[in-house]
Amino acid sequence: MIADFFSEPVKGQSEHPFLLLDSGAFSAYSVGQKINADALIAYAKLTGDYLLAAINLDQIPGTLHRRAPEGEIRKACRLSHRAFKQMLDCGVRVMPVHHQIDPRRWLYRLIDEGNTFIGVSPTDSYRLLRSV
């Protein structure tokens, strides 16, 4: 059972971090479920020095089949940033996430805050522009 596996501390031989912990935000989003932030934070802390970073428990606007309106995108950005700060405040090394549809100012804010390792999430919901 997966839950049992993730409740055990990580053990390894490396002196350097080697894990990137996926929050599961997209998987939960795609089936309409929620991730328990406290459980994610607790597990990230169990990984100790083996954790390079935990990927932020970001809020993804819209649904797989519905394009999010601007207000929902802005709200999702605020909630994602709040979750990012919560994880940092709990002592977790966390990688923030910027979505393709998020306003660029949120990406610049993450950079201005000193983040040098940022996940950029594309979406299949929006047509990409191609140069010919």
What torsion, rounded to 10 degrees, do the Cα atoms 53, 41, 67, 75 define?
A: -110
Q: Per residue of the chain (132 residues), give pLDDT as tens.
A: 344 555 666 666 666 667 899 988 888 888 888 888 999 999 999 887 888 999 999 998 888 777 889 999 999 999 999 999 999 999 999 999 999 889 999 999 999 999 999 999 887 655 554 443
The residues spanned by each domain of the chain are: 17-121
Read off the pTM: 0.78
Distance CA(114)–CA(52), nearest Å, equals 17
